[in-house]
Structure formats: structure tokens, C-alpha cells
Structure 1
Amino acid sequence: MEVDFLLIGQGLAGTVLSQRLLKAGKTVGLIDEPGKNKSSRVAAGLYNPVTGRKMVKTWNADLLFPEIIPLYRELEDLLGIKIIYPRPIYRPFVSIEEQNEWMGKSGDEGFRGYIETVRMSSKYDEVNDPYGGILLKNCGFVDLAALLDAYTGWLNEKGFLVQSTFDEDKLIRKDDGFIYGEIKAKNLIYCNGIGAMKSRFFDWLPFAPVKGEILEINEEFKPYEIINRGVFRITMPDGLIRVGSTYSRHDLDTGPSSQGKRTILEKLEKLVHASDREIIQHKSGIRPATRDRRPFLGKYPQEKNVYIFNGFGAKGVSLVPYFSKVMLDLLIHGEEPEKGVNISRFFKYI
């Protein structure tokens, strides 16, 4: 196989960037290890324009969010499956003061495109929302497991995917490109999450891996809206409820934990009242978060044609559609990404 770009990793980042490269007329190959921890498959797939304890617009929301639905709709058309589910997010207020604050923000031009309504009274009997809550729009979730499974099949049919463990020691520099096994590639792109931490090219980047755990449960209360306060609660297409998530920088290799499960359930019980709750599944994954909470885009400065598109953490669904376009401009036209996401911000650590 001879390709313009060899992508290491077929999580969300590798999936979206490879598709953009193909649309641009480039040839691609991907290497991905089946069964390996994939944070993309465990993630909730939530995209939410207003986040955090202080409920602020997510970083670069006005740039990021117009790209989300068109990108995932395009992948739906390519793969012939449903993957994106626009849904309102309902966030209960915890006080009259918070209610008043959001009544004021609802008239703010910067928030107007993301607020559906501000409720002054309870919306659901099952939800702990005596002060009402805010209903957000331009949000929802992506079924990442369905997307990645379908794209894996599509790549296999095209002969673009090699399912094996990537061993960087077997990578051979040849002329202006690389040889890896039977693959000859002009360029390498590391999209392999925390796997890039072990690369000789990118081991200097300040990754800050975070373990996240989620539960899949069954209970009678299945609202259309996503409920989000302390934990998110999403009614999935199969009728199960996905709840999460935890954020731990410890026990990164221990799999799902009893502490993580307990933490999620305690927060869920404060949010939603249910007597018929049944736990179906408990999952965990390691997110490729970064120290400054900004992704890693750019070219390795000491080697030709080696790039990274990585570090999207828990917000990959929101970040990847826009920044894959930025990355494409670098790969095709040599246009450097903005300083805030460019790995040049860390060159002093090499």
C-alpha cells in the first residue's frame, strides 16, 4: 500500500481527519489496534455549548458548533447509519440566585443562540429541580460506537485499514517518507490518543490523561431531553440510559472502579428520583486530555512529514469537526494552526 498519509489510530480524530483527507483527493491508510482501550468508544458523545460549574460558553463555541451537525450528517450519508442526535439539554437550577442570573443571561446576545428557554418552576416530577432550570439548544450527542464500528467496516472494504498494534521501532525512514511493513507513506499523523505519549516524536508533549467512567442503566423515566447537573443523563437510541462521567487522574490502568460507580450513582440520585434503577453496564476509558486543556495540532519540528492531531479530551465530539479543517489546511496548504492549539507552544520542552 502506498499512501499520502498514514494515520496512527482510528478513534474519532483519525476517523474524521482521514475522511477529510480523502475528500481532498489524498490517499490514506490507517493503523488501529482492535480491542485496545478506545476513549472515543466509551465517551458519551455529548456536545454542549454551555459547560462547567459556572455555566459559561464553551471555548470557541461560536466557531466550533456550526461545524458539528454538517460533519456528522455527512458521515451518516457516507455510512448509511444514524449517528447524531440533536437534543436539548436541561440543567436544573440549585437556587433562586442562579435562576435570576440566567434570566439576565437569556437576553445576552452571546448566549441567545444557545438558550431555548429559562424555566421558573419544575419541569419533571422525577427530577430534583424545585427552582426550574435552563433548557439549552444547539446541543445533543453522537453515537460514537456506531460511528467507529461502521467506519471501520467502510475502511476495511476499501482496503485502507490495518488492524494491528503499531510498533514505532519498525518504522523506517525512506527517502522523503516512511515504510512500515508493507505500507509506504509520505506522511505520518499520530491520532492515537495516549498512545502518542510513547512516541519518540511526541513524548515531550504535556498530555494529562484522565480516566472517565460511565454507567448504562435501565429505568422507566426516559425523557427526550438530556438532563445534566453534576452528571449527564442521556436516553440512548436503544432505550438505555447513559450516565456519567467521572474525571480521575489516578488509577489510569485499573478499569472500571467501585469508587467511580459509587460517585456516579450518588450524583444521579441527587438529580433524578427512581425506584426501578437497574445497572446494565459499567465502562471506563482513558481520555487524551492535555495540561492546558487545548488539543495538539502541528508538525514535529525535527523530522520531515510527521504530524499530530490529538489531545481532544472529553470534548472531542465538539472539537474535532472544526479542528480537522484547521489540520487539513496545515497538511494540504502548509497553513499553521493558531498558537493556542499549535504544538509550537511547547517546543521549549523538546
Structure 2
Amino acid sequence: MELLVNLNIIYVNAHFLKWAFFIYHSVIDSNLFDIFVAMKEVDYIIVGCGLASIAFCEKLRANNKTFLVFDDSSQQSSIVAAGLYNPVILKRFSEVWKAKEQLTLAMPLYTNIENELKIKIDYKLRILRRFTSIQEQNKWFTASDKPSLEPYLALQLITNNNKEVDAPFGFGEVLHAGRLDTEKLITCYKNFLKCKEQLLEETFMYSAFQTNEVDVIYRDIKAKQIVFAEGFGVKHNPYFNTIPLTGSKGEILTIKAPDLKIDYAIKSSVFIIPLGDDLYNVGSTYNNTDKSNTPTVAAKEELISKLKTFITCDFEVINHIAGVRPTVKDRRPLVGRHATHANLYVLNGLGTRGVMIAPYVAEKLFELIEYNNSLDPEIDINRFG
């Protein structure tokens, strides 16, 4: 009996080795690995899950395209963004690039996400620009006469009646503005993708990635296209690490100020944005040399110092976060196709206005891929040669 058992073990092991030998040579000699491992096929692989990626996912969903998203939460710029959207550059009283087109696409998209996920993320919010002089008031009126700015700048100045705010010259109000809760959006959208088995929470390994003229293959996943929407993380991407993404670190404080009692945002030397329950976000800083996500004492002191120039009440700092924005020297997004790999694309460079820009560039990239529409030269990565 013992001899029979041993012979059976030898037979099973030999049988296993025979199949292992066959599989090995099939893979090496004819690349037939998918005979034994079923490949998961999708239309798109997307790397990254920030504002740009979510806008592109929604475009794919609207057009019945299948996709998988990879994200390892290494990039924080969308999470730590203040989330304000407004069509005016308040430092110079000038229109945001393509503001009308961006708002036309962005507002319905975020409403659709709210309805689909049954969450609230878009808060209509008055934004008041604090004037520091009569000259600034005059510049406001001059700007409001321009046809491109007239829909966005209220003509009537607002007098300050809050004793905790120092604003002797009053405010100008920006119209069609608001705040998107970007942290809630990204957290809930990731959960939404996980429920649909469309999110892989892991680092995308470039070394495990292959591409040819027909498709792209990543481990056991086959896709027609791959879109890299990695934010500043694209610097580690061997296919797109030469695009001129500079990066700008921003830091934001959350304060508690029970006596302030404002339900509008104020733009002065810094923004102060109401969150409810006497909480406010204060930001943001701009640091072009530090590329870490670590909050700094220097930035905290800078924000507190600037806030105290126009807020007179006491407050307590209860949170401090940082992230590196994917900024570009010409302040335009970076969108396009790889020079030699026709099914590799980049969606990046949203800078400080990702809430408004993301839906616009997502649509333009989708139209490039699916319909071969030309990109606006202002956003095409080829503008840098």
C-alpha cells in the first residue's frame, strides 16, 4: 500500500511538471499566456483619480465606454484644493481663459455626479473681492464694462457691515461662482468605482505595461487606449515625464472662528471660504521649489499673517494640508497623444483651476481619441515641441 501511494504522488508531480513545462514554453515561444489566464478587456485604462480623471470617466460613461482606473492616492492636489470656481482672475480683474465654455460643461457634469452618487458637492457661493482703495473700485467698474466680464462682475458695490472684517472700501461681488467639495467628490467617486469593480487601488507599474499598434496590455488587462491623468505624479512616468510640468505647492488651513459669521467667500491677500459650523478654509500659498505634500510652518505663518490683515476676530487653526498642483509655465493644460505610441494619452496641467478646467479638457481629449478631432493648440502638448 505504501508503495502504491508513493507511486501515485510521483505520477501527480510528474503530471504537474509536464503541464508547467508546456505552459512555460507556450508563453516564451508563442506569447499564448492568455490561453491559461483570461484577459480582462476594456476600452480604456486610466491612471490617476483626481478631477481630470473623474471628468474623463464621466465622459466615458456617457458614451458607454468600458474602463478601469488605477489610483494609489499618492497625489493630493485635487484633495487639498480649495474647490472654488469663479470666472474671474481677481488679482487683475480679467476673465479666466475660456470661462464661458468651461462653466457650460462643468456645472451640468457636477450636477449629474450629485444625482448619480446621491451626494451634495456643489455649493453656490458668493465671492466678494475686498477693495483696498478707491483706485481698486474704479478698476472694478472699468473691468465690468468689458463684454467678456460684464456677466460675471456685479455693478453694485457691497458695503461691509461685519465688525469682524476690516473692509472700509467695501467689496465687489463675483457672479456665477461657487465651491466644489473636491475631497468629498473624490472619496465618493472612488467608492462608486469600487462598487462597479472599476477601481484598482494600487500603484501602476510602468515596467509591467506593453503597447502595440492595436492595444495596450497591463498584466491581465487589455485596453484599446490608456490615459495618464496623474497630476504632478506624471514626473515618474517614462512616457510623459518630459512634458513641461513645473508644479506649485499649495497649503491650506482650516480654522474655527465662531464670531466671524460670514456665509460668503472673501478674496483679499488670501481667500477665506465658509464651510459651515463656524469652519473656514484659508488659502492658498504658492511654492515653486518644494515638491512635497508635507505642510510647513512657514506656510502656516504666512497664511495666518495675511488673514489677520482683514479679519479681526479670534480663530483657531484646526487643520493644515498641502499638495503639489500640476502647473504649467503658460498656465494652460497639457493634453495630447504620445509622439510614437498612438494609444497613449496624457490629461494634465490643470493648475489652480481644476474644478472648471477638468470637464473642458476631458471632452477635448475624448473627441481627439474617438473622433480624431484636432486639439486647440493652446492645450496640445505639441505646443512645446
Same fold (TM over 0.5): yes
What are the superposed Cα offsets for residues 127-149 of structure 1, whole Å, 9 maximum, x if unpaired? Answer: 22101110111011100111111
Residue in 2 aligned with 1:252?
291
Q: Separation in 2 of the partners of 1:9 and 1:110? A: 34
Q: 1:290-343 CA deviation, whole Å, 9 max, x = no partner?
A: 121110111012112000111101110011122211111112111121000011
Distance in 1 of aligned mates of 2:319 and 2:297: 13
Q: Shift of the alpha carbon at 1:262? A: 0.6
Residue-by-residue CA offset, 1:225-254 (whole Å, 9 max, x unaligned)? 111112111111454211100000122226
Tell me which protein shows more strand as a share of its residues. Answer: 1
State the one-letter code of the partner of 1:199. N
Tell me the SS of whatever aligns to 2:148: helix
Task: Name the SS of the counterpart of 2:156 in structure 1.
Answer: strand
Q: Which amino acid aligns with 2:170?
A: G
Conservation of the 8 A alpha-carbon contact between 1:294 and 1:341: yes
- C-alpha separation in 2, matches of 1:105 and 1:207: 31
* Residue correspondences, number: 345
Aligned counterpart in structure 2 of residue 98 of structure 1, from 132, 136, 139:
136
- Within 2, Cα distance between the matches of 1:44 and 1:123? 26
Equivalent of residue 42 in structure 1, options 80, 85, 108? 80
Instruction: Give the aligned residue type for 2:98.
Output: N
SS in 2 for 1:270: coil
How far does residue 216 in structure 1 lie from its aligned partner after superposition? 0.5
Per-residue deviation, 1:288 = 0.8
CA drift at 1:158: 0.6
Q: State how far apart, in whole Å, the 2-side matches of 1:37 and 1:62 are.
A: 29
Q: CA deviation at 1:117?
A: 4.1
| Whole-angstrom CA distance in 2 between matches of 1:186 and 1:102 | 50
Q: Runs of 4+ in structure 1 displaced over 6 angstroms?
A: none
Q: Which protein is bigger by CA-based radius of gyration?
A: 2
Who is 2:323 aligned against?
Answer: 285
- Per the TM alignment, residue 57 of structure 1 is displaced from its structure 2 partner at its CA by 1.2
Residue aligning to 1:228:
267
- In the alignment, the residues of structure 2 paired with residue 253 and residue 149 of structure 1 have an alpha-carbon distance, to the nearest angstrom, of 22
Identify the residue that residue 164 of structure 1 maps to in structure 2: 202
- Answering whether residue 121 of structure 2 is matched by residue 83 of structure 1, we say yes
- Asked whether the 8 Å contact 1:99–1:120 carries over to 2, the reply is no
Match of 1:17 in 2: 56
2:29 is aligned to none
Task: Verify: 1:205 aligned to 2:238, yes or no.
Answer: no
Question: Structure 1, unaligned stretches of length 5 or more?
Answer: none
User: CA separation in 1, counterparts of 2:143 and 2:246?
Assistant: 33
Confirm or deny: 8 A CA contact 1:288 1:311 kept in the other structure.
Answer: yes
Question: Shift of residue 175 of structure 1?
Answer: 6.0
2:61 pairs with 1:61: no
d(CA) in 1 for partners of 2:188, 2:230: 19
Matches within 5 A, 1:171-320: 171-173=209-211, 176-220=214-258, 221-237=260-276, 239-253=278-292, 255-275=294-314, 277-320=315-358
TM-score when normalising by structure 1: 0.95
1:307 match: secondary structure:
strand
**1:342 equivalent in structure 2:** 380
Q: Specify every segment of 5 or more residues in structure 2 that has no aligned partner in the other structure, as ranges.
A: 1-39
What are the Cα deviations for residues 23-74 of structure 1, in whole angstroms up to 9, with x where unaligned? 111111100004x232100001111211142221111212222222211101
Q: Is the 8 A contact 1:102 1:118 kept in 2?
A: no
Over the aligned positions, Cα root-mean-square deviation in angstroms equals 1.5
Question: Residue 119 of structure 1 aligns to a residue in which SS?
Answer: coil
CA distance in 2: counterparts of 1:100 and 1:123, whole angstroms: 21
What is the alpha-carbon distance in structure 1 between the residues aligned to residue 203 and residue 293 of structure 2?
21
Report the residue type matching 1:167 in the other structure: M
TM-score by length of 2: 0.86
Between the aligned partners of 1:153 and 1:314, the Cα distance in structure 2 is 25
Q: Is the 8 A contact 2:126 2:264 kept in 1?
A: yes
Provide closer, same or farther for how the CA distance between residues 105 and 288 of structure 1 changes in structure 2, counting only shifts above 3 A: closer
Contact between 1:103 and 1:118, CA under 8 Å: does it hold in 2?
A: no
Cα contact 2:93–2:140 (8 A) shared by 1? no
Helix, strand or coil at the partner of 1:265: helix
Q: What is the one-letter code of the residue matched to 1:29? A: L
1:30 pairs with 2:61 = no
- SS at 2:70's partner residue? strand
Structure 1 vs Structure 2: percent identity of aligned residues? 33
